[in-house]
């Protein structure tokens, strides 16, 4: 293990330890500088920028059709939802709406993505806490979903399926049947997730009371998604500012008041069931029609600013496009959910132990490329 950075022993007897950027349990290249007093954490300082690719600057030279696909690489576990946000923002500028069929397909793909992202999160949470087996059980269902994506969209991870106006191709003829089979498999196996990890005494001891985040702090730090909902903050964009037909779908916003790691864990587990129920509502009711609304070949947004918010698997993603009438955006800003969730890490981890820090990072569910963009 290469100890990077200074090894400063401060006067109080603290010492500094580096965690990352190559570390099995920071989910991506995250470099944390931890001030330790024995086993207790005094301060955590993240160092970012190891995967900064300047997507925002790059997008200023791409056309309005192309810049969408750079966002698949941001939060790659919710690639569909990122693309959907960009496509919706462009549609807002053009003042068109996606066709009903496209909207239903977008919701289905978004919920499948959310489900597979939460499954990977569950497997990795078990892995970080030392239980190796949940990882394989999580990937069993995730593989099935990835194969469905591959059949329809052509890729497993960075699907590049959303375009302004709708989706790029129509769904594969096998799509509905396969999704129904997978949903049956997921529903049968979801109780296994609870059996293996949730009810385990050791797991509960490692997550209950750890990493408390109050509701006011969650709002002040800008946390969103399950991280904030576990502290009682209602922030599901699908309910607050519905898009793409989410107002017509029945689902619940999962809130919990615990504010600790266990609450964040339970919120995500219950969100998985909600995703399954949304998919089941729509899978037989996809409207017929066009899968793409007509747009010009070269899209030019009128002068102005457009902001679109969506709910990714990790929280609220905001796409802010400033246009001056050209064929490329003048300025794009991605308000990424992981960026704000990470800023609360220092607050949550002070006073706990290193093992707790691992548990907190596992339940916040960070994806680092989304932070660095």
Partner 1 sequence: MSKEELKASLTALLPTATFDETGEFLNVIVASGDMLPLMQTLRTNKEFDFNYLFCLTCIDWKDHLMMVYHLMSKELKHILVVKAKIADTVNPEIETVSGIWKTAIFHEREVYDLFGVKFLNHPDMRRLFLDEDWPGWPLRKNYVDENMIEI
Partner 2 sequence: MRSLLEISFSSLANYIHAGLISAMGDGMAALVTEMVIAGVCLILFLVPLCFFLGYMERKVAGFMQLRLGPNRVGPKGSLQIVADTVKLLFKEGLTPDSSDKFLFNLAPVIVVVTSMLVMAPIAFAKDLQIWDMSIGVLYVTSISSIAVIGILMAGWSSYNKYSLLGAMRSGAQIVSYELSIGLSIISIVILTGSLKMSDIVMSQANGWWIFKGHIPVIISFVIFVIASTAEINRAPFDLTEAEQELTAGFHTEYSGMKFAMFLLSEYINLFVVSAIAATLFLGGWMPFHIGSWQAFNHIMDFIPSSIWFLGKTFFIIFIIMQFRWTFPRLRVDQLLTLEWKYLLPISMVNILLVTLMAIMGWHF
- Residue with Cβ nearer partner 1 (83 or 323): 323
Number of neighbours of residue 82 by Cβ within 10 angstroms: 29
Which of 245, 244, 169, 246 has its CA nearest to residue 236?
A: 246
Which of 305, 264, 256, 357 has its CA nearest to residue 45?
A: 357
What are the phi and psi torsion angles at 89 (to 5°)? -65, -45
- Residue with Cβ nearer partner 2 (242 or 355): 355
What's the DSSP call for residue 169? Answer: S
Kindly state the smallest distance separating residue 2's Cβ from partner 2, in Å. 10
Are 254 and 274 in contact by the 8 Å Cβ rule? The answer is: yes
Number of neighbours of residue 119 by Cβ within 10 angstroms: 26
# chain residues binding partner 1, by CB under 8 A: 36
Number of neighbours of residue 37 by Cβ within 10 angstroms: 13
Q: 343 touches which of partner 2, partner 1, none (CB within 5 to 8 A by kind)?
A: partner 1
Kindly state the smallest distance separating residue 7's Cβ from partner 1, in Å. 19
What are the phi and psi torsion angles at 215 (to 5°)? -65, -40
Kindly state the smallest distance separating residue 127's Cβ from partner 2, in Å. 7
The answer to whether residue 217 forms part of the interface with partner 1 (CB under 8 A) is: yes
* Parallel, antiparallel or unpaired: strands 166-167 and 304-311: unpaired
Kindly state the smallest distance separating residue 150's Cβ from partner 1, in Å. 31
9-68: which residues touch partner 1 (CB under 8 A)?
48-49, 52, 54, 56-57
Q: Which stretch binds partner 1 (CB under 8 A): 34-42, 66-74, 302-310, 358-366?
A: 302-310
- Residue with Cβ nearer partner 2 (173 or 199): 199
Which residues of this chain interact with partner 2, rule CB under 8 A? 1, 3, 7, 15, 17, 23-25, 39, 126-133, 135-137, 140, 196-197, 200, 202-203, 205-206, 353-356, 358
Q: Is 185 helix (H, G, I), strand (E, B) or coil?
A: helix
Kindly state the smallest distance separating residue 170's Cβ from partner 1, in Å. 31
Number of neighbours of residue 242 by Cβ within 10 angstroms: 14
**36 Cβ partners below 8 Å, 6+ apart?**
14, 15, 16, 17, 42, 354
Q: 177 touches which of partner 1, partner 2, none (CB within 5 to 8 A by kind)?
A: none
Number of neighbours of residue 292 by Cβ within 10 angstroms: 17
The answer to whether residue 214 forms part of the interface with partner 1 (CB under 8 A) is: no
Candidates 22, 305, 325, 326; binder of partner 1 (CB under 8 A) is 305
Are 286 and 172 in contact by the 8 Å Cβ rule? The answer is: no
CA distance 119 to 117: 5
Kindly state the smallest distance separating residue 37's Cβ from partner 2, in Å. 13
Residues found near partner 1 in the complex (CB under 8 A): 48-49, 52, 54, 56-57, 92, 216-217, 219-222, 224, 233-235, 304-307, 309, 316, 318, 320, 322, 330-331, 333, 335, 339-340, 342-343, 347, 372
């Amino acid at each position: 293990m290469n100890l990077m950075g200074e090894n400063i022993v401060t006067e109080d007897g603290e010492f500094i330890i580096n965690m990352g950027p190559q570390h099995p349990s920071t989910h991506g290249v995250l470099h944390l500088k931890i001030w330790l007093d024995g086993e207790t954490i005094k301060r955590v300082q993240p160092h970012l920028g190891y995967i900064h690719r300047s997507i925002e600057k790059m997008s200023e030279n791409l056309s309005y059709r192309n810049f969408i696909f750079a966002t698949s690489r941001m939060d790659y576990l919710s690639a569909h939802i990122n693309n959907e946000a960009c496509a919706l923002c462009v549609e807002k500028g053009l003042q068109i709406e996606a066709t009903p069929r496209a909207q239903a397909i977008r919701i289905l793909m978004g919920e499948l993505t959310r489900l597979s992202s939460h499954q990977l999160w569950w497997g990795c949470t078990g892995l970080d806490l030392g239980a190796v087996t949940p990882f394989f059980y999580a990937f069993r269902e995730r593989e099935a979903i990835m194969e469905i994506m591959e059949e329809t969209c052509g890729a497993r991870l960075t699907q590049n399926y959303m375009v302004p106006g709708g989706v790029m191709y129509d769904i594969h003829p096998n799509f509905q049947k396969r999704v129904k089979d997978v949903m049956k498999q997921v529903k049968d196996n979801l109780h296994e997730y609870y059996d293996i990890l949730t009810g385990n005494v050791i797991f509960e001891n490692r997550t209950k009371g750890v990493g408390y985040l109050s509701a006011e702090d969650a709002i002040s730090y800008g946390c969103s998604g399950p991280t904030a909902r576990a502290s009682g903050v209602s922030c599901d964009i699908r309910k607050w500012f519905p898009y793409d037909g989410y107002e017509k779908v029945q689902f619940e916003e999962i809130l919990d008041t615990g504010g600790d790691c266990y609450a964040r864990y339970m919120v995500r587990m219950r969100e998985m069931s909600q995703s399954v129920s949304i998919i089941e509502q729509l899978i037989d009711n996809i409207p017929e029609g066009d899968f793409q609304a007509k747009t010009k070949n070269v899209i030019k947004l009128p002068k102005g600013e457009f902001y679109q918010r969506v709910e990714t698997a990790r929280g609220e993603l905001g796409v802010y496009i400033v246009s001056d009438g050209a064929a490329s955006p003048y300025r794009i800003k991605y308000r990424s959910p992981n960026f704000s969730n990470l800023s609360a890490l220092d607050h949550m981890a002070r006073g706990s132990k290193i093992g707790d820090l691992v548990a907190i990072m596992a339940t916040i569910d960070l994806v680092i490329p989304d932070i660095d963009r």
